[in-house]
Chain A
Amino acid sequence: MVRGLALLLGFQLLGELISRLTGIPIPGNVIGMALMLAALGSGLVRLAWVEEAAELLLSHLALFFIPAGVGVMVYGKLIAREWLPISVATVVSTFVVMAVTGKVAQRLEKGERQDAE
């Protein structure tokens, strides 16, 4: 467990380092995720080393977003001032994205399956 957590934090640290050195607008933890995937794929890191720690964190992923969400209260006035464009755009656009992404992916998936047959 401790080894797994150390590896996850180590890859995040490495990702942060790359993000800062290169100045690319991708956060360190996302770069860390890509590096961890590469390390697992190349056999540099064994699945068994990180599996338990990853499972523990991911099973409580929702919990870690709560403080960021509570931060919304600080901008309550700003949101209240332009509530109509903000709420309509946020809600409608979220459903549009889900519909477009899901439908496009599902159609292509079916197409590829038919090609294979």
Chain B
Amino acid sequence: MLNELIATPLFGVFLTLAAYALAQILYRRTGSIFFNPVALSISGIILFLLASGIPYDAYAVGGRYVLFLLGPSVVALAVPLYVRRQEIWKRRGPISVGIFAGAVSSVVSASGLAWLLGGSRDVVLSLAPKSVTTPIAISIVEKIGGIAPLTAALVVLTGCLGAICGPEFCRFIGIRSEVATGLAVGTASHGIGTARMLEVSELGGAVAGLAIGLNGLVTAFLLPLLFVLAR
């Protein structure tokens, strides 16, 4: 009977919401950036599944329902962009050049470092679009070669890293501007970073949302070209 229940969407949806609610309480209580609710929920659910022996597939039945809402949420990013359109349009130069520089440095540093450290061809290729939002990253990797599921995992890890310490790191290296911080976090760590930026600042969140799309666009055009040239 328990197995039947676990196979219903109810289980996965409940586990996701419960983990997130708990993680948010911990995050608020501790006030520590290392208790980032997304990273905490993900590791909590993984540990729970491993400890209880419940297969990932059973969780995913309900997980898919939660994931579904990501689609319309990305469309919803148009709202903060529209509300802040004048401030963003005024800075279109710095924004577009910043994202372009970020996209190039991402591809070069991620695959370059992996190559220098003796990563296999598959890993080097899978790492190249790691700062790009999952659906775009996967279509890029399918084009250049590499392991799409590995890319998906690396994209999520990158996102968590940017969400945990992106705004703090920017402040640390002397980036004070809200727009520059939002761009940095959005370009480096896509949607998960943007979720954190939306908590920190409305303008920063809006440009981070813009960076998800633009970084994806630039990388999607640039990366196949780079790999043709490198060959």
Using CB atoms and an 8 Å cutoff, list the residues of chain A in contact with chain B. Answer: 5, 8-9, 11-12, 15, 25-30, 32-34, 36-37, 40-41, 47, 50-51, 53-55, 57-75, 78-79, 82, 84-86, 88-106, 108-109, 112
Contacts and interface: CB of A to CB of B under 8 A. Distances in A.
A62 B45 contact: no
A90 B64 CA distance: 26
Main secondary structure, interface of A, reads: helix
Interface of B: 12, 16-17, 19-20, 37-39, 41-42, 45-46, 49-50, 56, 59-60, 63-64, 66-67, 69-83, 85, 91, 93-95, 97-99, 101-102, 105-106, 109-111, 113-115, 117-120, 123-124, 127, 130-131, 133-136, 139-140, 143, 147, 149-150, 152-154, 156-163, 166, 169-170, 173, 175-177, 179-181, 183-185, 187-189, 191-192, 194-196, 198, 205, 209, 211-213, 216-217, 220
A101 B220 contact: no
Main secondary structure, interface of B, reads: helix
B91 to A, nearest CB: 6
B213 A30 contact: yes
Contact of B56 (A50, A51, A74, A108): A74
B124 to A, nearest CB: 8
B113 A26 contact: no
Contacts of A65: 38, 70, 156, 159, 191-192, 195
14 contacts: A9-B71, A26-B136, A30-B135, A33-B78, A33-B81, A33-B209, A63-B16, A63-B20, A65-B70, A70-B60, A93-B109, A99-B184, A100-B105, A105-B184
Given A70-B63, A71-B60, A108-B97, A40 B102 contact: no
Contacts of A50: 76, 79
Given A58-B198, A65-B38, A98-B170, A12 B72 contact: yes
Contact of A103 (B79, B173, B192, B209): B173
A106 B174 CA distance: 10
Given A64-B70, A89-B113, A108-B98, A70 B45 contact: yes
Contacts of A12: 71-72, 74-75
Contact of B150 (A33, A79, A109): A79
Contact of A30 (B101, B136, B159, B188): B136
A47 B56 CA distance: 40
Nearest to A55: B79
Contacts of B152: 68, 71, 75
Given A65-B38, A86-B127, A98 B17 contact: no
